[in-house]
Structure 1
Amino acid sequence: MTVVVAPVGGAVVGLANVPDPVFAQAMVGPGTAIEPDREPGEAVSPIDGKIIKLHPHAYVVVGDDGRGVLVHLGIDTVQLKGEGFRLLAAEGDRVSAGQPVVAWDPAAIEAAGRSPVCPVVALDAQAGALSDVQESGQVTRGAELFRWE
């Protein structure tokens, strides 16, 4: 079982409310999403593992069990070409859950015309593989978001 923690703090809104059909329809996997607090901060690793993909706007951490978790900082933020993001880790780094990976400013993302909502997705997980998935309420960065059984 893998405990996945919130990479950012804010209001949990669930994947169905993400303004992107790929995430909203769980095409890349199940999970949830967070409407982040509008203050500059750091997005952290959702699990213990190795960063196998790292872009300024998104990253994937794979645990020793081979399970990968995608964190996407905002929607269509790839179009910002890294503006508003600063990498705090490197691809290939081993990280612990809660360790900072990217510094960013959700308010600046919003000001640039993009949604700062953050999908957190269990890549290629089967429907029903997740439990205790938060779909609403507030979450603090580093707090449990869901479990991958």
Structure 2
Amino acid sequence: MTLSVGSPVAGRVVPLTEVPDPVFAQAMVGPGIAVEPDRVAADVVSPVDGTIVTLHPHAFVVATESGAGVLVHLGIDTVKRKGEGFTLHVVKGETVRAGQTVVSWDPAEVEAAGFAPICPVIALDAPADGLGDLAEGSTVGVGEQLFSWQR
């Protein structure tokens, strides 16, 4: 089975190695890709159909029916903001569709507050070689495919 993982934000797609955080840059959490978001206030959408299993203002995990978990992290060290600048639109346990708004934020405001607004999108528990069709180096719109995940 192949899972298509969409972009939660619009922006420029970069490899995880460009994320200014070793946990993401070294793929310790799992393989994936990152999006350098456009610097405009925007909605962040679910990358896949599934259930919100983890929800914080700055990060969330959506688990698909088949058990694949996708982590979306909005910025680096943004947990230190304690939710400031993020508006949640769903609750933990809610079923969502790919493209449905989960959080609203303003990457420019996050950057102005001293945080990198880059958005890692991680395939949790995926093998390092389990991802394909990486959109690296391209510009994506909200919901456009970032990568495929062979499951």
Please give the residue correspondences for 1:22-37 in structure 2 after superposition, counting only pairs within 5 Å: 22-37=23-38
1:71 aligned to 2:92?
no
Number of aligned residue pairs: give it.
Answer: 149
Could you list the per-position Cα deviations for residues 116-142 of structure 1 after superposition, in whole angstroms to 9, with x for gaps in the alignment? 000000001001111101211201010
1:112 aligned to 2:113?
yes
Inter-partner Cα distance in structure 1 for 2:57 and 2:111? 16
Give the SS at the match of 2:23.
helix
Residue type matched to 1:109 in 2? V
Inter-partner Cα distance in structure 2 for 1:91 and 1:76? 21
Shift of 1:48: 0.3
Inter-partner Cα distance in structure 1 for 2:51 and 2:77? 25
Give the SS at the match of 2:17.
helix
Structure 1: where are the runs of 5+ without partners?
A: none
Using the size of structure 1 for normalisation, the TM-score is: 0.99
1:87 aligned to 2:88?
yes
Give the SS at the match of 2:66.
coil
Structure 2: where are the runs of 5+ without partners?
A: none
Match for residue 145 of structure 1? 146
Contact 1:14–1:134 (8 Å) recurs in 2: no
Match for residue 14 of structure 2? 13
Identical amino acids, percent of aligned pairs: 60
Using the size of structure 2 for normalisation, the TM-score is: 0.98
Inter-partner Cα distance in structure 1 for 2:137 and 2:25? 15
Contact 1:12–1:139 (8 Å) recurs in 2: yes
